[in-house]
Amino acid sequence: MSDFPRWKYALVVLAMLFGIVYALPNAFLPLKAVQVSANKGSAPVDDTLRQKVADALARDQVATGEVMVQGDQLLATFPNADVQKHGADTIKALLGDGYTVAFKLQSTVPRWLTMIGADSMPLGLDLQGGVHFLMQVDQSGVVDKLENSYADDIRNQLRQKDIRYESVARSAVAGQGIVTVLRSSDDRSKAADLIAANSPDLSVTDGPSTGDRYVLYAAIKPAKLRELSLGTIKQNLGTLRNRINALGVSEPLIQQQGENHIVVELAGVQDPTEAKKLIGATATLEYRPGIGYPGDPRAVEAARTGSIPPDANLYYTSNQAPVLVGKRPIVTGDELINASSGVDQNNGTPSVNVTLNASGAKKMQEFTNANVGKPMAVLLINTEYETSTVNGKVTRTPKTTYTVINDATIQSPFGKEFSTNGLGSPKEASDLALLLKSGSLAAPMDIVEENVIGPSLGQQNITKGFDAVMLGLLLVLICAAVYYKLFGLVADIALFFNLLILVAVMSMIGVTLTMPGIAGIVLTLGMAIDANVLICERVREELRNGSTPHAAIHAGYDKAWATILDANVTHLIAALALMTMGTGAIRGFGVTLCIGILTSMFTSVVMTHAFTALIHGRRKLKTLSV
């Protein structure tokens, strides 16, 4: 008689139900859709816009499933990819540049499944299409910023020590760094000692001297430049991950390539415009002393004549009103640790709530304590690239824009936490908070290569992958049933549920399915039957040794378990190594293989033992069909 415990029967039943329910959402294929969202300055998405889009699609005879408003976005569904593209072209022509039109896969999973956390697996770039970016990091901008900072420090040090100098400025010649012109040989010697003592990352050398001009060069050391380069790439990688996670893209590929390139792959994103806005932006805030208010006579005169006070910069608000702003920032975006959008309680306008680190909070507190009643400007700095063709070659030139988003009077001192208002809309506040919270890029990045993988190619990969899984499963099922008879059929049922449970687990935890993932599933199915082969051969051996059928079943599972465990543990170690150390396709393969090993150990041993005990447990047996 069988001694298989009842609690294990219950566990097997629960596992089977789990596999069926949580794998079921993958049977509901998503609909091809187009998503429309309003850009800054455009009318919000509403029912009027929905009707306008529906009429345009009907006029162009585009077959649509449904056109509906979801929150602040418009969604139109289509029967296939070709009609989806036709519909997107029609909507773009109708709405122009005021709206962002993007491709999307609209889930059709029933609500009752999503309410219990059951959803279909997200598909990778190779299965649903998407965009591929190769981005080049502009290291020169970081060096420029660092050299400017060193130049300011040198000026301050020379003033504090009363060392006479004529000028301190960055050299136009590469490699010379910062050029300091002093009044005497003694001044140059003192300056060299002072810079070497206070700035160990600078290499100080004497330059030429003529009359009362004694030149001193201070260049950043190569070791510091290498450290700066590695730190820039690392910070940009981290910032990109934060920003892309906010986009909601499942398992994006973000990795370094070479010394100054970063690869970004976003599955399911067919229109790269929105992604490029977010991942390529170098938006950050600077808080600076205000000199007057937007549009005051001094600013208007400076804008008209070009005569700007030496301690100020001339910038403009979003309404193109001129503003004079102090040159030296109080705090910058590098000292910001958190940002969230909200509404100003005093005037009801959109705002961004800012939290500074300890250093930034101290500087802000000191400035506001000393400047109550005076203006402070909030400067939004954004870097974009302009592309032009010169002599047949494509060149990309960085363009940095400065916009004063707020210039208000300091009513009372503040430090670590405060809010910035004056933003045009809640969406603008939300976008700015997202950029600030995810961190500023250490250096601007230029997209030098961009590819869009269409959904039709992805559909071909899905079809081929599905055929491969079904063919592999069918061949294994036939071989097991023919060779091991009833025990083989039991193994076939367990193998089928192994596939269901594997898909269910991957769906529940949100693993992105890719072509390497499909390869991992096929390999898992092939490996899973190994455990049943070991068990069946052990049962046969026990029968040949004269054991009774029930004793043979018990001994077969008991003696095969150690071998099964050893084999799967070694496979699991390899899968964990691929999952933790690999990236992209390698990691996807490792994740699928790791989950598959765990599920196959359960189905091949526990589930088959439960089925075998259920079939043979209460019967008197003379032999076994194995």
Residue 209, in any domain of the structure: yes
For residue 452, pLDDT beyond 80? no
Residues 480 and 376 in one domain: no
User: What's the CATH code of the domain at 176?
Assistant: 3.30.1360
User: What's the CATH code of the domain at 597?
Assistant: 1.20.1640.10
Question: Cα angle at 211 between 208 and 216, to 5 degrees?
Answer: 35
> pTM value?
0.60
Residue 3: DSSP 8-state: -
Q: Which residues are paired to 205 by β-bridges?
A: 217
Residues 465 and 567 in one domain: yes
Residue 348, in any domain of the structure: yes
Q: In this predicted model, what pLDDT tens digit does every residue of 69-119 receive, in sequence order?
A: 888 788 889 888 778 878 888 888 888 767 877 777 788 888 898 888 888
Taking CB atoms within 8 Å and a gap of at least 24, the contacts of 231-236 are 231/442, 232/137, 232/139, 232/142, 232/442, 232/443, 233/137, 233/259, 233/260, 233/262, 235/439, 235/441, 235/442, 236/137, 236/262, 236/441, 236/442, 236/443, 236/445
User: What's the CATH code of the domain at 424?
Assistant: 3.30.1360.200
Please count the residues of the chain: 626
Please give the residue range of the domain that contains residue 72.
31-106
Show which of 62, 85, 106 is a domain's final residue: 106
Show which of 202, 225, 248 is a domain's final residue: 225
Residues 467 and 404 in one domain: no
pLDDT band of residue 251 (cuts 50, 70, 90) is low
Residue 551 CA from chain centroid, whole number = 56
Residues 49 and 12 in one domain: no
For residues 400 and 381, give the distance between their C-alpha atoms in angstroms, rounded to a whole number.
7
Residue 346, in any domain of the structure: yes
| pLDDT score for 581 | 79
The count of domains in the chain is 4
| pLDDT score for 547 | 81
Show which of 106, 131, 154 is a domain's final residue: 106
Question: In sequence order, which residues have a C-beta less than 8 Å from that of residue 400 and are 6 or more positions away?
Answer: 381, 382, 383
For residues 12 and 51, give the distance between their C-alpha atoms in angstroms, rounded to a whole number.
52
Q: In this predicted model, what pLDDT tens digit does every residue of 134-157 receive, in sequence order?
A: 888 877 777 777 787 788 888 888
Structure tokens at 105: 């896969």
Residue 382: DSSP 8-state: E
Stretch (H or E) spanning 103: strand 99-106
In the chain, % of residues over pLDDT 70: 86
| pLDDT score for 511 | 81
pLDDT band of residue 435 (cuts 50, 70, 90) is low
Residues 592 and 462 in one domain: yes
Residues 588 and 602 in one domain: yes
Residues 47 and 85 in one domain: yes
Residues 510 and 556 in one domain: yes
Question: Cα angle at 319 between 313 and 320, to 5 degrees?
Answer: 40
Question: 3-class DSSP state for residue 560?
Answer: helix
* pLDDT, greater one: 451 or 160: 160
For residues 550 and 441, give the distance between their C-alpha atoms in angstroms, rounded to a whole number.
68
User: What's the CATH code of the domain at 62?
Assistant: 3.30.70.260
Residues 94 and 66 in one domain: yes
Residues 608 and 470 in one domain: yes
Amino acid identity at 346:
N
Residue 210, in any domain of the structure: yes
For residue 441, pLDDT beyond 80? no
Residue 582, in any domain of the structure: yes
Closest CA to 287 of 230, 360, 187: 360
Q: In this predicted model, what pLDDT tens digit does every residue of 161-210 receive, in sequence order?
A: 888 888 888 877 766 688 888 888 888 888 888 888 888 888 888 888 88
Q: In this predicted model, what pLDDT tens digit does every residue of 343-375 receive, in sequence order?
A: 777 777 787 788 887 778 888 899 989 888 888
176 and 168 in contact (C-beta within 8 Å)?
Answer: no
For residue 1, pLDDT beyond 50? no
Stretch (H or E) spanning 524: helix 515-544
* pLDDT, greater one: 246 or 277: 277
Residues 393 and 477 in one domain: no
Residues 161 and 46 in one domain: no
